[in-house]
Structure 1
Amino acid sequence: MTADTSLIGTGLYSLPQASRLVGANPRSVRRWLLGYGRKYRGESRISQPLWRTQLADEDLPEPTIGFRDLLELRLVNAFVKHGVHVSVIRATADAARERFGGEYPLTMRRFLTDGKRIFAEAIDAAGGTHLIEPAGRQYVFSEIVTPSLYAGIDYEGDAARRWFPDKGKAVVLDPAIQFGAPILSGAGIPTDTLYAAYKAEDDDKNAVARIFDIDPRQVEAAIRFEERLAA
Structure 2
Amino acid sequence: MYTGTGIYSLGEAGRLIGVSSAQLSRWLFGYKCQKRRDGRAVAGYSAPLWAPQVTEGEASKTIGFQDLLEARFVHAFVSHGVPLLVVRRCLVSAQQLYGVPYPFTTLRFKTDGKSIFGEAVRQSVDEDPLIDLRSRQVVFREIIVPSLYAGIEYQGEHASKWYPVPKRDHIVLDPARHFGSPINEDTGVPTEALHASYLAEGGDERAAALTAATYDIPLRWVKAAIRYESQLAKASH
Q: Which of 222, 228, 232 is residue 225 of structure 1 equivalent to? A: 228
Q: Could you say what secondary structure the match of 1:214 adopts?
A: coil
Q: Could you say what secondary structure the match of 2:104 adopts?
A: helix
Identity %: 46
Q: Could you say what secondary structure the match of 2:32 adopts?
A: strand
CA distance in 1, matches of 2:191, 2:107: 28
Correspondences of 1:65-214 after superposition (within 5 Å): 65-127=63-125, 130-133=131-134, 138-167=137-166, 168-203=168-203, 204-214=207-217
Change beyond 3 A, Cα 1:157–1:55: same
What code does the residue aligned with 1:171 have? I
Return 197-206 or 59-68, whichever deviates more. 59-68
Change beyond 3 A, Cα 1:138–1:108: closer
The answer to whether the Cα contact below 8 Å between 1:67 and 1:175 also exists between their aligned partners in 2 is yes
The answer to whether the Cα contact below 8 Å between 1:133 and 1:140 also exists between their aligned partners in 2 is no
Q: Which TM-score applies when normalising by structure 2?
A: 0.89
Change beyond 3 A, Cα 1:59–1:155: same
CA distance in 2, matches of 1:94, 1:148: 24
For each residue in 1:22-67, what CA deviation from the matched residue of structure 2 results, as whole angstroms up to 9, or x when unmatched? Answer: 11133211111111003455410210000000012x1266110000
Change beyond 3 A, Cα 1:83–1:95: same
The answer to whether the Cα contact below 8 Å between 2:169 and 2:221 also exists between their aligned partners in 1 is no
Correspondences of 1:14-53 after superposition (within 5 Å): 14-39=9-34, 42-53=41-52
Q: Which TM-score applies when normalising by structure 1?
A: 0.91
The answer to whether the Cα contact below 8 Å between 1:80 and 1:86 also exists between their aligned partners in 2 is yes
Question: Which residue pairs with 2:3 in the alignment?
Answer: 8
Q: Over aligned residues, Cα RMSD in angstroms?
A: 1.7
Gaps of 5+ in 1: 1-5
CA distance in 2, matches of 1:99, 1:139: 23
Question: Which residue pairs with 1:3 in the alignment?
Answer: none
The answer to whether the Cα contact below 8 Å between 2:117 and 2:137 also exists between their aligned partners in 1 is no
Change beyond 3 A, Cα 1:61–1:90: closer
Q: Could you say what secondary structure the match of 2:60 adopts?
A: coil
CA distance in 2, matches of 1:106, 1:38: 26
Q: Aligned-pair distance for 1:133?
A: 3.1
What code does the residue aligned with 2:171 have? V
Gaps of 5+ in 2: none
What code does the residue aligned with 1:143 have? E
The answer to whether the Cα contact below 8 Å between 2:183 and 2:191 also exists between their aligned partners in 1 is yes
Task: Provide the aligned length of Structure 1 versus Structure 2.
Answer: 223
